[in-house]
Amino acid sequence: MIYPKKISANNGEIIIKIFLSVSIAIAIILTIINKLTTPNVPWAALANSGIIYIWIVVIYSIHRNVNIAGHVLLQTIAISLLTVYIDYRLGFHGWSLSLSIPIILIVANLTMLILTIVSYKKYLRYAIYQLFILLFSILPAILIGEKIVTDPIMGIIASGVSLLNLIITIILSAKDLKEAIKRKFHL
């Protein structure tokens, strides 16, 4: 014999499929209970958005290489969308845009800043994610400029932190940033 008789099944994928099915079943049950009991309060939609958020994070963690900067970018986008959705379902008072997103961006920028300083030798692998976080950080400034946000204080702080992040990054790792752009955007 030159081949093994038993081929092992991919248990990991089977487990993922089981959990995914359970999650979908829970989401459907929650929606039905919500509609039957308290149709005026959209709590099932909020719970289901939480389930979707968890799955985005789980699938990303399984299929992508473990890169802290990649996780920071994913969490920044996913949590931002989640808070906007929750705000929208609760009557859209604007707290997601004026408070949540700026706070998330401050945390993301500070995390990336710490990563850049602490592990600058590995910076090349973080560069492109940091670039996207910096681009995403323009959002509060746009929201303030367009007067969509009524309370701009946190937005201004977020823009300041991201500007500081950008300056320090350029000072420390301009060459790496340039190299990352060359690799990622080659034609």
How far apart are the C-alpha atoms of 164 and 88, rounded to whole Å?
31
**What contacts 55, CB < 8 A, 6 or more positions away?**
20, 23
Looking at the Cβ atoms of 70 and 140, the one nearer to other proteins is: 70
> Rule CB under 8 A: is residue 171 a binding residue for other proteins?
no
Q: Which of 17, 35, 93, 175 binds other proteins (CB under 8 A)?
A: 175
- Binding marks (x or -) toward other proteins, 120..159, rule CB under 8 A? xxxxxx----------------------------------
Binding positions for other proteins, 104-123, rule CB under 8 A: 120-123
Q: Residue 20 Cβ, how far from other proteins at the closest point, in Å?
A: 17
Q: Residue 96 Cβ, how far from other proteins at the closest point, in Å?
A: 27
- Checking 113-116 for CB contacts under 8 A at 24+ apart, the result is 113/164, 113/165, 113/168, 113/169, 115/68, 115/69, 115/72, 116/165, 116/168, 116/169, 116/172, 116/173
Q: Residue 122 Cβ, how far from other proteins at the closest point, in Å?
A: 5
Best CA proximity match to 169, nearest among 122, 108, 121, 120: 120
- Checking 161-164 for CB contacts under 8 A at 24+ apart, the result is 161/105, 161/106, 161/109, 161/110, 161/137, 162/105, 162/109, 162/133, 162/134, 162/137, 162/138, 164/109, 164/113
- Binding marks (x or -) toward other proteins, 62..101, rule CB under 8 A? xxxx------------------------------------
How far apart are the C-alpha atoms of 110 and 112, rounded to whole Å?
5
> Rule CB under 8 A: is residue 11 a binding residue for other proteins?
no
Looking at the Cβ atoms of 104 and 131, the one nearer to other proteins is: 131
> Rule CB under 8 A: is residue 57 a binding residue for other proteins?
no
Query: How many chain residues bind other proteins (CB under 8 A)?
Result: 27
Piece of 14-22, 48-56, 60-68, 78-86 that binds other proteins (CB under 8 A): 60-68
Kindly list the residues in this chain that would bind other proteins in the complex (CB under 8 A). 1-8, 62-65, 120-125, 173, 175-176, 179, 183-187
